[in-house]
C-alpha cells in the first residue's frame, strides 16, 4: 500500500473526515514522499531524533506524529534553512538517509475515533483513559475534553498512580496532597485565561484537574486559594506530551482496522523529556 493511500484511509477513519479543511488543518505532510510503498508505520507523540533512529532500525518508513517535526507551529522550515541551523540540518539528513516520510495527525485524531457503541470520542484522550485503565469511569461532559468519576483516593496516591502507569519521571502537584480525588477533568492548554475552568470547578464539583501545561497564574492561583480554604481541589500537571502520548500509543492498535490491511505498525515512545531535581 502506498503511503498516500495509508494517509487517505486514516483521514477517512475519523469523525472529522468530511469537515476538516485540507488547506487549513495542521495535519500535513511534514517530510518525505507519499508516492512510495509503506514498509511499516510508527506512531509517536513527537518524532525526536531517537524516535527517527528507531524507526530506521525497524525498517519502517512512515512516522505518524501528533506534534510538529521542527519546533514551530505550522512546521515552517524556511527560517531554519536560511540560518543553516545545525540541528535542523542534521535531523533533516537523518530523515533523508532513512527514507522517512512524516505525516502529522493532530486535528483528525482529536476530532474523534469510532467506538463500539457507534459514538465517537477524542482519540487522544480516550487513549489516555485506556492506558490508565479509566475508560469505565468516563462520564459525559460538555465542559471538558475528558471527565472521569474515579473511586475516591488521595491526590498524592492518584499522582503516583499516573506517574507509574505512564512511566513518567514525576509530576507537578498543586493543592493539598491529602485532598480527596473524585471528579477528575482533563483539560487542553492552561496558558492564560482560565475563567471557564475556574467556573466549572466551582459550579460542577470538579476537584482535580489533570493538565498538560500549567502556569503560575489564573487556575493555579484559584486552586491554591481553594485548597487553603479547605476545599478538595488540586491540579496534577504532567506535561503536554506526556498527557497526549497514550493516545498515539492507542492509535497503533486501530490502524490495521482503519487500513483494512495488515501493515507492520508499532508505537515508539518519545518519552518524558523532563528530569526533576528536588530539594
Known binding residues for a divalent metal cation are 66, 117, 240, 244
| Residue 170 and residue 198 in contact, taking contact as beta carbons nearer than 8 Å | no
| Residue 276 and residue 170 in contact, taking contact as beta carbons nearer than 8 Å | yes
- DSSP bridge pairs for 213: none
Burial class (CB in 10 A: 0-12, 13-18, 19+), 265: buried
Give 266's contacts (C-beta < 8 A, 6+ positions apart).
40, 41, 42, 43, 58, 60, 252
For residue 116, what is its C-alpha cell? 463500539
Report the distance separating Cα 222 and Cα 250, nearest Å. 34
Report the binding-site residues.
66, 117, 240, 244
| Residue 258 and residue 10 in contact, taking contact as beta carbons nearer than 8 Å | yes
Report the distance separating Cα 232 and Cα 201, nearest Å. 10
> Which among 234, 17, 244 has a CA at the least distance from the CA of 127?
244
Give 205's contacts (C-beta < 8 A, 6+ positions apart).
183
Amino acid at each position: 500500500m502506498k503511503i498516500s493511500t495509508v494517509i487517505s484511509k486514516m483521514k477517512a477513519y475519523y469523525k472529522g473526515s468530511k469537515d476538516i479543511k485540507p488547506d487549513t488543518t495542521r495535519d500535513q505532510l511534514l517530510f518525505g514522499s507519499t508516492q512510495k510503498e509503506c514498509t511499516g508505520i510508527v506512531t509517536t507523540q513527537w518524532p525526536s531524533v531517537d524516535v527517527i533512529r528507531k524507526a530506521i532500525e525497524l525498517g519502517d518508513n512512515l512516522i505518524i506524529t501528533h506534534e510538529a517535526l521542527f519546533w514551530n507551529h505550522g512546521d515552517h522550515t524556511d527560517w531554519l534553512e536560511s540560518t543553516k541551523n545545525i540541528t535542523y540540518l542534521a535531523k533533516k539528513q537523518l530523515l533523508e538517509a532513512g527514507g522517512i516520510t512524516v505525516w502529522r495527525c493532530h486535528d483528525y485524531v482529536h476530532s474523534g475515533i469510532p467506538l463500539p457503541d457507534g459514538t465517537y470520542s477524542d482519540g487522544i484522550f480516550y487513549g489516555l483513559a485506556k492506558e490508565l485503565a479509566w475508560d469505565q469511569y468516563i462520564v459525559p461532559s460538555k465542559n471538558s475534553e475528558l471527565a472521569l468519576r474515579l473511586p475516591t483516593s488521595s491526590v498524592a496516591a492518584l499522582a503516583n498512580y499516573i506517574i507509574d502507569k505512564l512511566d513518567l519521571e514525576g509530576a507537578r502537584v498543586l493543592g493539598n496532597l491529602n485532598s480527596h480525588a473524585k471528579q477528575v477533568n482533563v483539560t487542553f492548554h492552561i496558558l492564560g485565561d482560565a475563567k471557564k475552568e475556574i467556573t466549572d470547578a466551582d459550579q460542577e464539583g470538579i476537584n482535580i484537574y489533570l493538565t498538560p501545561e500549567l502556569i503560575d497564574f489564573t487556575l493555579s492561583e484559584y486552586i491554591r486559594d481553594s485548597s487553603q480554604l479547605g476545599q478538595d481541589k488540586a491540579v496534577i500537571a504532567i506535561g503536554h506530551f506526556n498527557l497526549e502520548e497514550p493516545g498515539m500509543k492507542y492509535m497503533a492498535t486501530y490502524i490495521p482496522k482503519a487500513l483494512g490491511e495488515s501493515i507492520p505498525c508499532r508505537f515508539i515512545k518519545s518519552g518524558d523529556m523532563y528530569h526533576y531535581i528536588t530539594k
